[in-house]
Structure 1
Amino acid sequence: MYKIVAETLIQALSYTSLAVVAALVGGVVAVYRPPDPQMESNVQHLAAGVVFAAVAAELLPDIHNKSPTVVVSGFAIGIVTMLGIHRLSKAIENRDIGGNFAGAAGLIITIAIDMLIDGVLIGVTFIEETTTGVIIALALAIEVLFLGVAAVVALPEEMRNIQKMAVPATFGALMTVGVTVGVLTLEGAAEATIAVVLAFGAAALLYLVTEELLVKAGKVPQTPVSTTLFFVGFLTIFLLDIIG
């Protein structure tokens, strides 16, 4: 049992390292060459397509034959959680918590919580099936690249670069913690429990696509390039699933 847990954890952490690196790369890009709004929108479309495909090709098939009660419970918990995180973010911004950092505090706290959730999801998918875990880890690495950029861009300009880079580094650490907790606590868990977590993760990622990535991407004029990138991202993950 311990050997299985250790092997699963090592596999999950090795692929999670891609997301950790992606967060740092996003931070470096934001510090030294911040993207213009159109480029940011293009990346958001690409990330949305990737995450959407990961949910459609990997998570939903894994829970398709599970009890409707289990699936609905997982989705409901996921939706309520994401709405709660969104509400928390707005409350922090409205109450000016964090002083000079108030503008970024809500966003950073939201992303930090999301990193923990994503980490647990990666851990659970590796428990369920290695191929699923790999696809989810790759998809989330692209998501984290954008989130690393978004968080650093939101920070006050007067902050030192090393302080700014500490933010995406923390995101990577939180995702690693989430993976570790997910594997250690859910390895050997009942199928219903795993199904609830997968349904929760599917709802959380769909919320990310529809209410975060695409909403923010829509703040700049739509272009054929950005639309195409959504489908490129979707097709890339879908083909990886077929090949795998």
Structure 2
Amino acid sequence: MVGTLTQALSYTMLAVVAALVGGIIAVYRTPGPQMESNVQHFAAGVVFAAVAAELLPDVHTRAPIVVVIGFAIGVATMLGIHRLSKYVEKRDIGGKMADAAGLLITVGIDMLIDGVLIGVTFLAEAATGVLIAVALAIEVLFLGATGVIALPEETSTVKKLAVPAGFGILLLTGVITGVLVFDGVTGTPIALVLAFGSAALLYLVTEELLVKAQEVPETPTSTTLFFVGFLLIFLIDMLH
């Protein structure tokens, strides 16, 4: 278990660093709407490919009823998180931070879930864990920047950078939890987690990344970047 945990944490550090890099870029050089859209398209393609190439084939071999239950729980959880974020925004919880609170809560919980998924995939198949960790690192690069951009302009640099750092800590916490809780576990529990994780990531792509990416006019470049991201991860999986 120690070896698996060390390996999982090592690759997850890529995502932690990516979150900090995204936050630093957002602090000192905020990307424009079109650049954000381009990054969102690329990240969506990367995450979609990771799910299609690694998670779904593993899920496909499991008992149908287990897969249905796992997917249903995953979708319900993500919808619940979305509703919670809207409630926070509507109730103006957090004062000046109210506008950012909903987003930060959503991303924070998502980081924890993604961390657990990384930990479980490393237990099931190290190669799958590596690919998922790399794909999520690209996703987290964008999320780190998004968390900083959402904060009020008068927020200090230290507090701004604390946001992506917090995302990284939650991701690492999820990995540790996933490995410790599911070490030695096989069968139905692993199938449930993989199906749950697949649904959560597909929700992230379709209802978060691509929806936000459409807030600016679509361009050939942004569309192409989605397929570049998809093909990149797909080729890495083929050559692995």
**Shorter-chain TM band:** over 0.9
With the length of structure 2 as denominator, give the TM-score of the two structures. 0.99
Counterpart in the other structure of 2:14: 18
Count of residue pairs the alignment pairs up: 240
Counterpart in the other structure of 1:177: 173
Share of identical aligned residues, percent? 71
With the length of structure 1 as denominator, give the TM-score of the two structures. 0.98
Counterpart in the other structure of 1:57: 53
C-alpha distance in structure 1 between counterparts of 2:151 and 2:28, whole Å: 14
Structure 1 residue 187 corresponds to structure 2 residue 183: yes
The correspondence of residues 117-128 of structure 1 with structure 2, limited to 5 A, is 117-128=113-124
Q: CA deviation at 1:192?
A: 1.0
Q: Secondary structure at the match of 1:31?
A: helix
Summarize deviations over 1:192-224 as a string: whole Å, max 9, x none.
Answer: 110100000000000000000000000100000
Counterpart in the other structure of 2:104: 108
Q: Secondary structure at the match of 2:230?
A: helix
Runs of 4 or more off by more than 6 Å in structure 1?
A: none
C-alpha distance in structure 2 between counterparts of 1:191 and 1:52, whole Å: 25
Q: Secondary structure at the match of 1:185?
A: helix
Q: CA deviation at 1:43?
A: 0.1
The equivalent position to 1:156 in structure 2, one of 138, 145, 152, is 152
**Any gaps of 5 or more consecutive residues in structure 1?**
none
* Aligned amino acid, residue 36 of structure 1: G
Summarize deviations over 1:148-177 as a string: whole Å, max 9, x none.
Answer: 111100101111101100010000000000
The correspondence of residues 25-40 of structure 1 with structure 2, limited to 5 A, is 25-40=21-36
Structure 1 residue 90 corresponds to structure 2 residue 98: no
Q: Secondary structure at the match of 1:35?
A: coil
Q: CA deviation at 1:190?
A: 2.5
Q: Secondary structure at the match of 2:193?
A: helix
